[in-house]
Amino acid sequence: MLLLVAVWSAAGCAEEGAGGFGGSSGFNDATSTDLAQKSFPFGADSGLFTEGEPRYGQSATLIVGEFTSTTPTAGFSLTTDDGSLQGGVLALVEGHPCRFSTVFLQLAGKDPQIDPFLPQDFFEFCAVDSEGRLGLLEYEDELPIISEPPTDPTADLNETVSLLPSLVVEPGVPLDGRAETGTVELELFGNVLSFSVTIDDLSATDKLRDGHIRRGVASENGELLLTFFGSPIQPVRSVAPPFIDGNSITASVFVTPDEAAVLTDAASPLYISITSRQVSSGLLRGQLRDVP
């Protein structure tokens, strides 16, 4: 199993003492505020990878996305200097603050593994100190692996998209009398897509259902690129689908390298489609990127 052994190394040590996180003073259980949209660097000698593991001796960067509006889950990605990529879902579970579930793993030079039940689970406990450094543990009684102080990751994509009913093609039911509009804010950090969807004037008898990014222009029906909430559930996002809170949702998902490449390709037109319980064929659409 990968990423299970904690090593107390010179790359970020805290004083050992009675009580506290992993027997270490100065650390407190991490909250979503401590982790959201942060980049945590781990040095090559941090002990993040065990000897004999393919990534042993590699520096790594852990990126955590935005957490859901109501349930504490977020997408995460872990990249190493050799180009290996691991990603999935981080959940802040009571009794196990920081349960990382790996659903995508691609070691350098190897084919990717995409499976919501990959055996390479990540750590189950984490905490932060006054500098924001992240400490990771697999078991509570170990000493933690500690990151360097976090930084704010640079967004590879940062867009706000207006959603309109007039762009919907063949909604299937009459939209006369419906007054919904909305916005979607998208930020891509490496392989973590954070998003915030807000729908204005959502009918009191209706609820949001699905959010998709599709290829092409909004005035035509395009091929599905990815689901950022709802269905169809895709393997790399099936561990903890976001919870929809009324007319808004804030969350993040892990995206594969192929998906990230399309999201950042200026020559690839993309649009966003939002469906609801009553209008499952499409309530609102917005153009994320037009034809160049």
Within this chain, do residues 100 and 167 fall inside the same structural domain, yes or no? Answer: no
Within this chain, do residues 119 and 59 fall inside the same structural domain, yes or no? Answer: yes
Q: Is residue 133 part of a domain?
A: yes
Within this chain, do residues 51 and 82 fall inside the same structural domain, yes or no? Answer: yes
Of all residues in the chain, the percent with pLDDT exceeding 70 is: 83
Within this chain, do residues 122 and 183 fall inside the same structural domain, yes or no? Answer: no
pLDDT confidence bin for 50, thresholds 50/70/90: confident
**pLDDT 10s digits, 134-159:** 998 877 666 688 999 999 999 999 99
Q: Is residue 266 part of a domain?
A: yes
Mean pLDDT score, 272-285? 90
Within this chain, do residues 30 and 63 fall inside the same structural domain, yes or no? Answer: yes
Within this chain, do residues 99 and 197 fall inside the same structural domain, yes or no? Answer: no
Q: Is residue 152 part of a domain?
A: no
Task: Pick 8 or 170 by higher pLDDT.
Answer: 170
Residue finishing a domain among 146, 168, 194: 146
Of all residues in the chain, the percent with pLDDT exceeding 90 is: 52
Residue finishing a domain among 127, 146, 165: 146
Residue finishing a domain among 146, 170, 185: 146
Report how many domains make up the chain.
2
Task: Pick 41 or 69 by higher pLDDT.
Answer: 41
Within this chain, do residues 22 and 109 fall inside the same structural domain, yes or no? Answer: yes
Within this chain, do residues 215 and 94 fall inside the same structural domain, yes or no? Answer: no
3-state per-residue secondary structure call for the chain: CCCCCCCCCCCCCCCEEEEEECCECCCEECCHHHHCCEEEEECCCCCCCCCCCCCCCCCEEEEECCCCCCCCEEEEEEEECCCCEEEEEEEEECCEEEEEEEEEEECCCCCCEECCCCCCCCCCEEEECCCCCEEEECCCCCCCEECCCCECCCCCEEEEEEEEHHHCCCCCCCCCCCCCEEEEEEEEECCEEEEEEEEECCCCCCCEEEEEEEECCCCCCCCEEEEEECCCCCHHHCCCCCCCECCEEEEEEECCHHHHHHHCCCCCCEEEEEEECCCCCCCEEEEEECCC
Give pLDDT, residue 163: 95
Residue 2 has pLDDT above 90, yes or no: no
Give pLDDT, residue 123: 78
Q: Is residue 6 part of a domain?
A: no
Q: Is residue 122 part of a domain?
A: yes
Q: Is residue 10 part of a domain?
A: no
Within this chain, do residues 137 and 169 fall inside the same structural domain, yes or no? Answer: no
Mean pLDDT score, 218-222? 92
Within this chain, do residues 269 and 172 fall inside the same structural domain, yes or no? Answer: yes
Give pLDDT, residue 15: 37
Within this chain, do residues 184 and 123 fall inside the same structural domain, yes or no? Answer: no
Q: Is residue 37 part of a domain?
A: yes
pLDDT confidence bin for 25, thresholds 50/70/90: low
Mean pLDDT, the chain, integer: 84
**pLDDT 10s digits, 230-253:** 888 787 877 666 667 778 899 999
Mean pLDDT score, 35-49? 94
Within this chain, do residues 208 and 227 fall inside the same structural domain, yes or no? Answer: yes
Task: Pick 27 or 176 by higher pLDDT.
Answer: 27
Q: Write out the residue range of the structural domain in which residue 130 sits.
A: 16-146
Q: Is residue 2 part of a domain?
A: no
